[in-house]
Amino acid sequence: MESRVSINDLIALHYDGLSPQLKIAADYVVENHHDVASRSLRATAASSKLNPPTFSRLARALGLGSYEEMRELCRNEIKHRNISFADKATLLQLEGADDEHGEKAPFALRQAASAMRNIDQFVNDLDVARLRLVADRLVASRNVFVAGSLASVGFAQYFGYLANLAFTNWQVLGLDGIALATSLTGIKQEDAVVIIMKDPYAKRSVDAAQIAHESGAFVIVISDSMACPAFPFATHHFIVPTDSPQFFSSYIATLLLLESLMGMVIRRSGPDTSERLKEVETNNHRLGEYWPVDQLTSNRE
């Protein structure tokens, strides 16, 4: 199954080569598909506070013949979006509401509202065909390498942990210099590399993407913005919203993507995977990794 060429794909491919003004226009297009698809060039320019010729230049910079072609790609993007989650209006209103003491809603509710918006946006924008294609390719790969640096380290390790329960050919890359060079040496076209990275972008993660790309591997980059410097080296990429009321990025939508992708990979992997999962669980019991069930029962009494 082939993934469609989307306006987001084109922007990601050409983003590094755009002028600062065209990057502003490109960011607006990515965040406002409906506006571009449904309104005239002049109206879109007014909403974005940019000049109309800027969007025409953007279309040409993306290799399109005209602004109308860019509008059509935005229309296609809207057609392929999933239906939104059920309305979260009541909770979202709490984010900016004042309580009886004139204070903002509790931070936990504002954090939850932000997380729901991130998930909702992610689901709306998700290219399901691309997700299926990536899952198929991961199943078919000889080896799969997972990498993440800075705040993404733990999420790469979690993704790798899930994979190692079911498969023997997945490996989490160490991103110190020696470990990275060793792990990526000998990587082939039959291999796949999954890289998780968020702003501020780790140089080693970008380097890993470039090395994997130059080796011919299948490269998946999961990031938070079209500005991600590793996108030019990605076979496929996913942009995951990370907005948060605090200073650091939220990874909740990223976890949704990782867990969904792993579930899809396991479902595609056949009976051997199920047998391995059973064997792993049996060995965990034999090694005493789990808290005894009888002690759980006695603690409740």
Q: What is the CATH number of domain 7-80?
A: 1.10.10.10
Domain limits, CATH 3.40.50.10490, in the chain: 128-284
Dmax (CA) for the chain in angstroms is 74
Of 138-152, 266-280, 282-296, minimum mean pLDDT range: 282-296
Contact 193/145 with Cβ under 8 angstroms? yes
236-272 pLDDT, tens per residue? 999 998 887 776 778 899 999 999 999 899 888 877 7
At residue 82, does pLDDT exceed 60?
Answer: no
Where are any strands of DSSP class E within the chain?
144-148, 170-172, 192-196, 218-223, 236-239
Angle between helices 7-14 and 67-80 (to 10 degrees): 120
pLDDT at 79: 63
How does pLDDT run across 57-68, given as a tens digit for each residue? 999 999 998 888
User: What's the pTM value of the predicted model, to 2 decimals?
Assistant: 0.68
Domain range 128-284, CATH class? alpha beta
Q: Which of 120-124, 260-264, 294-298 has the lowest mean pLDDT?
A: 294-298
Cα separation, 71 vs 75, in Å, equals 6
Instruction: Name the segment(s) of the chain with CATH classification 1.10.10.10.
Output: 7-80
